[in-house]
Amino acid sequence: MSKNFDVIVIGGGPGGYIAAIRAAQLGFNVACIDEWKNDKGGPAPGGTCTNVGCIPSKALLQSSEHYEHAGKHFADHGIEVKGLGLDLAKMLGRKDTVVKQNNDGILYLFKKNKVSFFHGRGSFVKAVPPGEGGTSGSTGDYEIKVAGIAEETLIGKHIIVATGSNARALPGVPFDEESILSNDGALRIGAVPKKLGLIGSGVIGLEMGSVWRRLGAEVTVLEGLPTFLGAVDEQIAKEAKKAFDKQGLKIELGVKVGEVKAGKKGVSVAYTNAKGEAQTLDVDKLIVSIGRVPNTIGLGAEAIGLKLDERGAIVVDDDCKTSLPNVWAVGDVVRGPMLAHKAEEEGVAVAERIAGQHGHVNFNTVPWVIYTSPEIAWVGQTEQQLKASGRAYKAGTFPFLANGRARALGDTTGMVKFLADAATDEILGVHIVGPMASELIAEAVVAMEFRASSEDIARICHAHPSLSEATKEAALAVDKRALNF
Ligand code: FAD
Ligand code: NAI
C-alpha cells in the first residue's frame, strides 16, 4: 500500500526540514525522509549542519575558546586560575548533547506541523503517469521508495530533493576517520593530538584548526592556493592572517600535496612548498578539508532522468526547478554557496512557489561567517571584485581598537569595512574581522536588503558602548567623517 502526499522532501538537513515545515504551514500534506542515524540507530534529522557541521563545530569552538581564555586571557582581567585542566571527553559529550537537543527539536517541529517523518533512504522509483494511481490528474506524480527499518512506498505530487553534500577526499586517500579525518572525524578526536595537519585553509580548516590549536595541538595547515582566503576582501583576509599567525596557527600557502601515507605512528604528507622545495609533514592526525561534493548517492536520479551537472549537482534554475516537472532541489546539492541559511531560504522559497506564491532568495545578500577568533563575516562584494568590475566605489574602515566596548571586552583585533557606490552611496559590501562579526553582519544584511546607503547607517543611533558603533563609524568613514578615529 502506498501513501500519498502533496509534497515529499528527501533529506532532513536545513534545506529539507525547513522546506517540509513551510510546506506544512501552507496547508500541504507533507512527508520528509532522512537517513541520518544517531549512535543508537535512531533518527537524527538536521543533516550535516546539525550532526557534523554548523552546530557541533560551534559547540567545540565555544568550549575551546573558554579554555583558551581561562588559560591565557583571564589573568588580564585579574582572575587567577589555578590547576586548569581539560576534560576532553566531557567537552565532546557536551557537544553531543547540543546536537541531540537540535535533533529532538526538529522531530518535535515535525510533530507540531504534522509532517510525516520517515527514517531511511529515499530514492526515486519512477514517474507515475497521470491517471495511474497518483494524487494528481494532469502532471503525473513520483513514486519514492523509503529503505529504512521497514520499506515504504510513497507517492508525491511535488518532490523536493535536499540531500546535501559530502566531504571531498584527496584523490586516492579515502577517509578512515581514525587518522585521515573528514569533518565528521575532526569533531570527535578522542585525545588532543600532539601534531595535527589540515589540508585546505578554507572555512573548515580554519575553524577546526582553531579548535584543536586552542586545546593544545601543534597545528599546520597546508593550502594549495597562493593567497589566503581568496574569496574574502583582501584587506580583511590580511588582518585575519596576521591574527592567526600570532596565535601560532601555522598556515603554508601555495603548496602542492603529494603522497599521503597513514601508518600506526600517524600520517606523513609529502608536499612541495611555494618555493618548489620537497617537504614532509608528519602528524598524528590529518584533517582533509578541501571542499564538499553534492550528494546524489542512491537517490535514483537516473530512474526518472533527473539532470545532474559534471560535479554531480542537481541542475536547477534560479527558482530551484530541476529538469523535471514538480521536482525541485535546494541546498548543498545544487549550485551556490554551501551554507545552511542559503539552504533554508531556498527551502522556504520552494514551498511557497509550490503554493503559487512568489518565494525569492537574494543571493547578493547571503552573509558568510567564519567562526574563528577573530570572527570573519561579510556580505556583498569585495574591494577586489569591485575593482575587477570597474565599478566606482568609496571605502570606509573603522578599527575595533578605537571602539570602547571592544576595549572593555579585551578584544580589539580587526575592523569593519564598508564599500559603497561612488555616485549613489548604496552599500555594495560590508566586511568585518573582529569580535562578534557573526552578529554584527546582520545589520549590514538588513541594510543591503533595503538598498540602504552608507549615509543611512551613519545617521542611525547605535547603542553606546557597543561593537555595533564600529559599524556606524565605518559607514561615517566612507564620507571621511568618522568621529572616534
Ligand atoms: P545537509 O545538511 O547535508 O542534509 C542532507 C540530509 O539528507 C542529510 O541528513 C542526509 O543524511 C540526508 N540524505 C541524503 N541523501 C538521502 C536520501 N537519499 N534519503 C534520505 N536522506 C538522505 N553552514 C553554515 O551556514 N554555517 C556554519 O557555521 C556551517 N558550519 C559547517 C561546519 C562544518 C564542519 C561543515 C561540514 C559544514 C558547515 N556548514 C555551515 C555548511 C552546512 O552544514 C551545509 O551548507 C548545510 O548542512 C546544507 O544543508 P542541506 O539541507 O542542503 O544538506
Ligand atoms: P572550502 O571551499 O571553504 O576550502 C577548501 C580549501 O581547500 C580552499 O582554500 C582550497 O583552495 C583548498 N584546497 C582544495 N584542494 C586542495 C589540495 N589538493 N591541496 C591543498 N589545498 C586544497 O571548503 P571546506 O573548508 O572543506 O568547507 C566546505 C564548505 O562547508 C565551505 O565552503 C562552506 O560552504 C561550508 N562551511 C561553512 C562554514 C561556515 O559557514 N562557518 C563552516 C564550515 C564549512
Residue with cell 512506498: 153
Averaged confidence pLDDT in the chain: 96
Q: Is 451's pLDDT higher than 60?
A: yes
Q: Is 151's pLDDT higher than 70?
A: yes
Measured CA to CA in angstroms, residue 384 lies from 105, 234, 236, 238, 299 at distances of: 42, 7, 11, 13, 40
Residue in 51, 183, 204 to alter for ligand 2 test, most ligand atoms within 8 A of Cβ: 204
Residue of 66, 73, 360, 464 with catalytic role? 464
pLDDT of 149: 82
Active site residue 464: yes
- The answer to whether 109 touches 23, Cβ cutoff 8 Å, is no
Query: How many angstroms does the Cα of residue 179 sit away from the middle of ligand 2?
Result: 19
pLDDT of 136: 57
Q: Is the CB of 298 under 6 A from ligand 1?
A: yes
Query: How many angstroms does the Cα of residue 54 sit away from the middle of ligand 1?
Result: 9
- The answer to whether 205 touches 198, Cβ cutoff 8 Å, is yes
Residue in 144, 163, 333, 438 to alter for ligand 1 test, most ligand atoms within 8 A of Cβ: 163
pLDDT band, very low/low/confident/very high, at 174 (cuts 50, 70, 90): very high
pLDDT in tens, 256-300: 999 999 998 999 999 999 999 999 999 999 999 999 999 999 999
pLDDT in tens, 379-405: 999 999 999 999 999 999 999 999 999
Query: How many angstroms does the Cα of residue 49 sit away from the middle of ligand 1?
Result: 5
pTM for this model (two decimals):
0.97
Residue in 22, 37, 48 to alter for ligand 1 test, most ligand atoms within 8 A of Cβ: 48
27 known ligand binder = no
Q: Is the CB of 15 under 6 A from ligand 1?
A: yes
Instruction: Tell me the ligand closest to 342's alpha carbon.
Output: 1
Instruction: Tell me the ligand closest to 52's alpha carbon.
Output: 1
Instruction: Tell me the ligand closest to 45's alpha carbon.
Output: 1
Q: Is the CB of 210 under 6 A from ligand 1?
A: no
Q: Is the CB of 166 under 6 A from ligand 1?
A: no
Residue with cell 605512528: 265
Mean pLDDT of 209-228: 98
Q: Is 133's pLDDT higher than 90?
A: no
Q: Is the CB of 338 under 6 A from ligand 1?
A: yes
Atom of ligand 2 nearest to the CA of 371: 41
Q: Is 137's pLDDT higher than 60?
A: no
338 known ligand binder = yes
Q: Is the CB of 152 under 6 A from ligand 1?
A: no
332 known ligand binder = yes
pLDDT band, very low/low/confident/very high, at 150 (cuts 50, 70, 90): confident
Mean pLDDT of 65-84: 96
pLDDT in tens, 344-360: 999 999 999 999 999 99
